[in-house]
Structure 1
Amino acid sequence: MIKTIYDSDFKIISDDFGFKYQDSLTKKLDSSTENFNQDKLNEIVLWKVNRYAEFDESLINLINSIDKNESEINIDKTREILKELLKTNGVQLAMASTILRYRNPNIYQIICN
């Protein structure tokens, strides 16, 4: 039988306050004193659905090195970026292709599952 808060012997114990779940984002959200904005709400939603992907600054710089107006794909650069994206927790091929597409829709398209 599953216990609920409506059971007469229900008590909150100290262990109920601690949990391990997306540690770095949990700490970031818990320590924030800023007002909510779209970015903050997005982080909370992604935390809840366990889809938050934390990107390394060097990977972000690599993605940003793709010229938004480029009309020809750089295969070597794309391969390097895809390898790094796919190493990122929470990113699979469909998400990686979506990131690239929004960086440059002229040369990248979204791959669906």
Structure 2
Amino acid sequence: MTWCLALLAFRDLDTGASLIVPFWAQIRDPIIIHLMTLYALSIVVRYLPLLWHEIEDGGLDHIRALIEHYISVFDNVLPKLAIERITGRRLIAVMPGSLEGPA
């Protein structure tokens, strides 16, 4: 199974199959929610450079901390979700010496 077949596409009579979900639809796939959130952030970075400058270095730097935390969580969680979806098996990966690691 390829990775693109593991994504749950939105299906509707009006739009067919699509990864971009209309506003009136309920999004239930966590991978799609994370990808759309990152896509929205990329739009802000590219097309609203003054706003992004305020987030990076200006008065909105408290939002920067939230974005950095979200991306660090995303980097750790999404690969696990994707591998579990593609393989159909539960994945347990821990770092040695961590709280979840073997004693």
* Fold shared by both chains (TM-score > 0.5): no
The structure that has the greater radius of gyration is 1
More helix by share: 2
More strand by share: 2
If the length of structure 2 is used for normalisation, what is the TM-score?
Answer: 0.25
If the length of structure 1 is used for normalisation, what is the TM-score?
Answer: 0.23
